[in-house]
Amino acid sequence: MLDVAIAYNRYGFLGNEFLTWLWYTLENHSAQLAEIDADLSALEIGNRMVLENRRNEGLETITIKGDDAGLEEGLLALKKGALVTEMNLLYRSGDNTWQFNLKGESLNISSLKTPETAGTETKEDIEGAVLEKIFLYEKVILFVEGAFRHFVGLRISENWDKKIIIQMKKWINKTS
Partner 1 sequence: MGLLSQSVSITRYRVQGQLEEPVLDTIVLALNRHAVLDIDNDAAEKSCGWTSFENPFAPDFEGSNHLFGSYLVFSLRVDKKSIPAKILKKHFTIEETKRLAASGRRFFSRNEKKLVKEEVLHRLSLRIPATPHIYDLIWNYEGGKLWFFSNLKAANEELETLFSESFNLSLIRMFPYTAAEMDADLSDSDRDRLNQISPVILTGQT
Interface contacts to partner 1, rule CB under 8 A: 1-2, 4, 7-8, 10-15, 17-18, 20, 55, 78-81, 83, 103-113, 120, 123, 126-127, 129-131, 133-134, 137, 141, 145, 148-149, 152-153, 155-156, 165-166, 168-170, 172-173
User: Cβ closer to partner 1: 21 or 45?
Assistant: 21
Residue 13 makes CB contacts below 8 A (sequence gap 6+) with: 83
Do 137 and 114 meet the contact criterion of CB atoms below 8 Å apart?
A: yes
Residue 49 makes CB contacts below 8 A (sequence gap 6+) with: 23, 63, 64, 71, 74, 84, 86, 87, 88
Do 89 and 100 meet the contact criterion of CB atoms below 8 Å apart?
A: yes
Q: Which of 130, 137, 148 is nearest to 113 (CA)?
A: 137
Nearest approach in angstroms of CB 42 to partner 1 is 21
User: Cβ closer to partner 1: 26 or 112?
Assistant: 112
First CA to last CA distance, the chain? 40
Residue 141 has a CB neighbour count (10 Å cut-off) of 14
Q: Rounded to whole angstroms, how far apart are CA atoms 97 and 74?
A: 24
User: Cβ closer to partner 1: 2 or 31?
Assistant: 2
User: Cβ closer to partner 1: 92 or 137?
Assistant: 137
Nearest approach in angstroms of CB 100 to partner 1 is 9
Nearest approach in angstroms of CB 39 to partner 1 is 18
Nearest approach in angstroms of CB 141 to partner 1 is 7
Nearest approach in angstroms of CB 66 to partner 1 is 19
User: Cβ closer to partner 1: 61 or 120?
Assistant: 120
